[in-house]
Amino acid sequence: MRTGGAGRFRIYLGAAAGVGKTYAMLDEAHSCRRRGDDVVVALVETHGRPGTEAHLAELEVVPRKIVEYRGARFEERDLEAVLARRPQVALIDELAHTNVPGAGRNEKRWQDVSDLLAAGIDVITNVNVQHIESLADVVERITAIAVRERVPDAVIRGADEIELVDSSPERLRRRLLYGDIVPPDRAREALRGFFTTETLTGLRELTLRFLADELEGRSCGRPGRTRGETAERVLVGVSTAPGSDAVLRRGARLAARLKADLHVAHVVVGDDDPFDMKIDALRRLADDLGAEWADLSGEDPAAALVDFAGQRQITQIVVGPGGRGRRIPLLGSGSTVRRLSRRAANEGIDVHVVAQAPSSATSPSDGGKPDGDPRTMEGRPQGR
């Protein structure tokens, strides 16, 4: 994400729409202007909120471009215009947004941010916790909704600063009821759906835990990792079986808590195809999570994983549960998992067997091509 001459990258992180992330961004923009910085708004979504619109006043806004898609017209950010303008600081809303096809060089807004940073432009943006790739399965359990727009963990952890914008569930629900977040005709439905007290509480706790892990990792010297002979190293074993993506995300969260390097290994057994589309999707997910990928071979997956772990000084191995049949995640059978545990114990390696939930229907870190308006792909407010 970052290059040698890159601009500084600041993210405002929140648990849900309406906590005030965009308002906090605009506050920061006004502060930058008072310091004499050259600031532009590459894109900010006000959603018709009077307070946000008033706060946007007096800031230079780069005109949007009009894009036609499937018979409809959309306003999108004009990345080329921002790059040509070359400000010191650019504000760009909703980091997880999927750009309308044909709107420019990039599919995702986080890729736009990467281009701005590479050009030496400081970027201020925001994101909701439900869009962080490693948390996708946890968010789905909390909300009962498969989040389609996701940001790679490497992008989030590459930020120079991550600042929490917080609000209690009760205050968010009041704001929703008063029409401060979505139009009043949608408010009551949202209160019964995504904005229940239980859901908002779960997302808030998840946000605080993610940020605490991240800040602790930074106190060790750099985002999310430590070094040295005593450093923890996590290895996740994956296969084409359903649920491998959830196991991989679980391993990534363990690595983040341990401030550990993350490795992912796929054991090719017999005539298995290492270029299977499911494995390719897991490779992309591993890359999004900042992991190092390895394809291993061997008729005994347990032996292959432990041998690899010994070579890389792995301290923790994460796999899915065993079961009957070759394609049960993640090592083929319960006896193989037991064999892995015995071999790993002999090497002083801990094994975590994850009782993973089934994979969501959405492929890792993609979200597919937009249907209709990409701004409402999840059927609720996003990124605010």
Q: How many CB atoms sit inside 10 A of residue 1's CB?
A: 18
Structure tokens at 379: 């059927």
Mean pLDDT of the chain: 85
Residue 363 covered by a domain? no
3 state SS of 61 = strand
Both 64 and 113 in one domain: the answer is yes
Mean pLDDT in residue range 66-85: 95
- The whole-number pLDDT of residue 356 equals 55
CATH number of the domain enclosing 81: 3.40.50.300
Both 106 and 200 in one domain: the answer is yes
Over pLDDT 70: what percentage of the chain?
83
Q: How far is CA 149 from CA 4, 15, 76, 284, 315, in A?
A: 28, 15, 17, 15, 33
Q: Which residues contact 367 (CB under 8 A, 6 or more apart)?
A: 98, 148, 149, 150, 377
Both 125 and 244 in one domain: the answer is no
Residue 366 covered by a domain? no
Both 216 and 248 in one domain: the answer is no
Both 115 and 244 in one domain: the answer is no
Both 331 and 200 in one domain: the answer is no
Q: Which of 189, 220, 251 is the last residue of a domain?
A: 220
- The whole-number pLDDT of residue 307 equals 95
How many domains does the structure of the chain reveal? 2
Both 130 and 252 in one domain: the answer is no
How many angstroms separate the CA atoms of 251 and 187, rounded?
37
Confidence band for 375, pLDDT divided at 50, 70 and 90: very low
CATH number of the domain enclosing 331: 3.40.50.620
Q: Does the structure show a pLDDT above 60 at 40?
A: yes
Beta bridge partners of 89: 39, 122
The residue with tokens 């900042």 is: 290
Residue 267 covered by a domain? yes
**Tell me: the pLDDT tens digits for 95-137?**
999 999 999 899 999 999 999 999 999 999 999 999 999 999 9
The residue with tokens 């195809």 is: 273
Domain of 336 in residue numbering reads as 233-353
DSSP 206-271: HHHHHHHHHHHHHHTTSTT---STT--EEEEEE-SSTTHHHHHHHHHHHHHHHT-EEEEEEEE-TT
Both 94 and 171 in one domain: the answer is yes
Q: Which residues contact 236 (CB under 8 A, 6 or more apart)?
A: 247, 248, 251, 252, 262, 263, 264, 265, 291, 317, 318, 319
- The whole-number pLDDT of residue 273 equals 62
Mean pLDDT in residue range 42-55: 89
Per mean pLDDT, which of 151-160, 336-345, 353-362, 370-379 is the most reliable? 151-160
Both 238 and 325 in one domain: the answer is yes
- The whole-number pLDDT of residue 322 equals 58
